[in-house]
Chain A
Amino acid sequence: MTTELRIAFLPLTDAAVLAVARERGFAEEEGLHLDLVRTTSWATLRDRLVFGQVQAAHMLAPLAVAVTLGLSQQAAPLAAPYKLNVNGNMLVMASAFAQALDPDIAARLDDPLGTAHDFAAAIGLWKRKPVIGVVHRFSSHSVMLRYWLASAGVDPDRDVILRVLPPSLTVEAIGAGEIDGFIAGEPWGSAAVDAGLAEAVAIGERIWRRGVEKVLAFRTPWLEENPDSVDRLLRALVRAAGWCDDPENQEALAHLLSRPQYVDQPAEVILRALSGRIVPRIDMAPLSMPDFMLFSREATPFPWRSQALWIYSQLVRWKMVDHSADNAARAASVFRPDIFRRALADSDVAMPGASMKVEGAVASPLAVGSKRGELTLGPDRFFDGRIFDPERIEDFLASF
């Protein structure tokens, strides 16, 4: 018997694993039929999940934490047993603004710290307080942009205006001069570059080499009551993610995502994030960034609890929530490595031995303890060299 699951998503390249699970038969092999519900705002995606119109959603990891903590409308405990990707964001600014930055774009992107300082200087030269589009208050983009700006002494709540707008409206808004730049998931940064409106200023993957991005979120009570459906879905997604990461499938994947029911943008633009060949300005050849967006390798889908806590630390830092032991525990509980382990117990997926790690400490590929198979973690450094020890949140917060 086939089980039908409704899953809400936003038209973004990193919804790839869900689309592939449905279209390439991975869900079917597990006896699942996926009804993917295209949604145009994070608010509506959240409401569809919280009020039970869908069973799961392609959600910004910080939004899942925020809904659980009661920071975004109706509070509801959410559970994320699976990460749909890491990395995949790009900050682009209007070309006139970017003139104040290093003209050697490859060097600019390679040196986020230097560029952050150049950006800080450019703020004073600009005709107004720069308006930067972010896709949501509780987005990885907003959290990373704030982290990056603050490293150069910029107060993101005082020195710039962060304007929330959905990814699909970013290109139009920069064209109309309503915003001076934006940080969003692909393909929207590339779409603005292609329109000749903007150029790349920072790459998410260079700010945090393995930055947590979208998760698959469920309502916790539903997750607890439907272990069989959840496990089957996770097994289908792991296989779909392997398919997505295989370079041989990139072109087919870009074409699949370009369809109107998914991202509805040209396959050629979508392909850039998948292949890690990023065009930073309309007249330039692509730059190679093999870690631009990851779906499968290095145990990408594994929901490290320390990553939920890193997000929480940033929400506390920007005074979106007060720090308490209870809040920290609730935030950490959103990521569910226990469910991931249960679902994939009989598979050949390499499984980390631990559920937390020190974030930002891996400088070069590192073989780590694994219950099965070989597991190598890629470099996960922050560009400013900070290290996040989830056991010592207070010390980390005091360091800012």
Chain B
Amino acid sequence: MRIVIIDDSGLRATVLEEGLREAGYDDIHIVPPRGGFVARLERMAPDVVLMDLGSPSRDTLEEMLTVSRALARPIAMFVDQSDEAMIGAAIDAGVSAYVVDGLRKERVKPVLELAVRRFNAFAKLQSELDEARTALSDRRIVDRAKSILMSQRGLSEPDAYALLRSSAMNQGKKIVDVAQALITASDLLGGM
């Protein structure tokens, strides 16, 4: 069974491909949805196409599935229209799957289930990564505000932090917001 993954995010496609290979599928291709991707896809003659539901290129893909002469067999979205729970899970996870008509649903279902699990895992990974990035940049802002206080007011590092924290509490704000305001003010006043 030839599976093509159409995905803009290199990381997500890799996460999915890895899972499929572990499950014993070895005819897997990744195609980014750019430029002439439709022609490439036609030449590959896939049995299953997996795509991010959020990709704006879905309309382009579906048009190709409708008119392509290379793909003589019709392609349906999802193999088993009666399995509403499965389709719901796929849409929630953001997976769309196009399957060549005639492929048995027992063969496709594990692929789709795996794609759903991997898309969900990827989304979780992504949000953790975003959180980590925010935390890191927050820390940098606070560090910079601390060093402004240390050099301008001759405070020690613990005292500079304590001052930021007490101002934040007094104003009902987050430390990072107070720190950002301090940096902006300092820049405006030509300090540092």
Indicate whether A368 reaches chain B with its CB closer than 8 angstroms.
no
Quick one: which of A40, A72, A73 contacts B56, CB cutoff 8 A?
A: A40
- Closest residue of A by beta carbon distance from B63: A164
Shortest distance in angstroms between A227's beta carbon and chain B's nearest beta carbon? 24
Asked whether, in the complex, the Cβ of A169 is within 8 Å of the Cβ of B63, the reply is no
What is the total number of residues of chain B having a CB less than 8 Å from a CB of chain A?
23
Indicate whether B155 reaches chain A with its CB closer than 8 angstroms.
no
Knowing A51-B88, A74-B81, the reply to whether A41 touches B66 (Cβ < 8 A) is no
- Write out the residue numbers on chain B whose beta carbons fall within 8 Å of the beta carbon of A176: 35
Indicate whether B30 reaches chain A with its CB closer than 8 angstroms.
no
Which parts of B43-85 form the interface with A (CB within 8 Å)?
A: 53-63, 66, 76-78, 81, 84
Shortest distance in angstroms between B70's beta carbon and chain A's nearest beta carbon? 16
Which parts of B106-142 form the interface with A (CB within 8 Å)?
A: none
- Write out the residue numbers on chain A whose beta carbons fall within 8 Å of the beta carbon of B78: 74
A257 to B8, CA, bound (A): 27
Asked whether, in the complex, the Cβ of B77 is within 8 Å of the Cβ of A47, the reply is yes
Asked whether, in the complex, the Cβ of A73 is within 8 Å of the Cβ of B76, the reply is yes
Asked whether, in the complex, the Cβ of B60 is within 8 Å of the Cβ of A47, the reply is no
Knowing A73-B77, A74-B77, A178-B35, the reply to whether A41 touches B87 (Cβ < 8 A) is no
Size category of the binding interface on chain A? 20 to 34
Shortest distance in angstroms between B49's beta carbon and chain A's nearest beta carbon? 12
Indicate whether A168 reaches chain B with its CB closer than 8 angstroms.
yes
Shortest distance in angstroms between A345's beta carbon and chain B's nearest beta carbon? 35
Asked whether, in the complex, the Cβ of A135 is within 8 Å of the Cβ of B88, the reply is no
- Write out the residue numbers on chain B whose beta carbons fall within 8 Å of the beta carbon of A220: none
Knowing A47-B77, A74-B81, the reply to whether A164 touches B60 (Cβ < 8 A) is yes
Which interface residue of A51, A52, A136, A165 has the most chain B CB atoms within 10 A? A51
Asked whether, in the complex, the Cβ of B96 is within 8 Å of the Cβ of A47, the reply is yes
Which parts of B79-107 form the interface with A (CB within 8 Å)?
A: 81, 84, 87-88, 91-92, 96
Asked whether, in the complex, the Cβ of B59 is within 8 Å of the Cβ of A165, the reply is yes
Which parts of A22-40 form the interface with B (CB within 8 Å)?
A: 40
Shortest distance in angstroms between A249's beta carbon and chain B's nearest beta carbon? 30
- Write out the residue numbers on chain A whose beta carbons fall within 8 Å of the beta carbon of B58: 41, 43-44, 166
Quick one: which of A51, A53, A135 contacts B59, CB cutoff 8 A?
A: A135
- Write out the residue numbers on chain B whose beta carbons fall within 8 Å of the beta carbon of A166: 56-60
A43 to B161, CA, bound (A): 52
Indicate whether A6 reaches chain B with its CB closer than 8 angstroms.
no
- Write out the residue numbers on chain A whose beta carbons fall within 8 Å of the beta carbon of B87: 51
- Write out the residue numbers on chain A whose beta carbons fall within 8 Å of the beta carbon of B76: 73
Asked whether, in the complex, the Cβ of B59 is within 8 Å of the Cβ of A136, the reply is yes
Shortest distance in angstroms between B188's beta carbon and chain A's nearest beta carbon? 28
Indicate whether A323 reaches chain B with its CB closer than 8 angstroms.
no
- Closest residue of B by beta carbon distance from A320: B66
Which parts of A130-170 form the interface with B (CB within 8 Å)?
A: 135-137, 163-166, 168-169
Indicate whether A317 reaches chain B with its CB closer than 8 angstroms.
no
- Closest residue of B by beta carbon distance from A136: B59
A20 to B76, CA, bound (A): 37
Asked whether, in the complex, the Cβ of A41 is within 8 Å of the Cβ of B91, the reply is no
A73 to B76, CA, bound (A): 6
Indicate whether A48 reaches chain B with its CB closer than 8 angstroms.
yes
A54 to B84, CA, bound (A): 15
A42 to B55, CA, bound (A): 11
- Closest residue of A by beta carbon distance from B64: A164
A168 to B55, CA, bound (A): 11
Which interface residue of B56, B62, B77 has the most chain A CB atoms within 10 A? B56
Asked whether, in the complex, the Cβ of A169 is within 8 Å of the Cβ of B57, the reply is yes
Asked whether, in the complex, the Cβ of A40 is within 8 Å of the Cβ of B88, the reply is no
- Closest residue of B by beta carbon distance from A139: B59
15 contacts between A and B (CB under 8 A): A40-B54, A41-B55, A42-B59, A43-B96, A44-B96, A48-B91, A51-B84, A51-B88, A164-B59, A164-B63, A165-B57, A166-B56, A166-B60, A169-B56, A178-B35
- Chain A residues in the interface with B (C-beta under 8 A): 40-44, 47-48, 51-53, 72-74, 135-137, 163-166, 168-169, 176, 178
Closest 5 CB pairs of A and B: A164-B63, A43-B58, A40-B56, A41-B58, A166-B56
- Extra A-B contacts (13), CB below 8 Å, given A40-B55, A166-B58: A41-B59, A42-B59, A43-B96, A47-B91, A51-B84, A51-B91, A52-B88, A72-B62, A73-B77, A74-B81, A136-B59, A137-B66, A166-B60
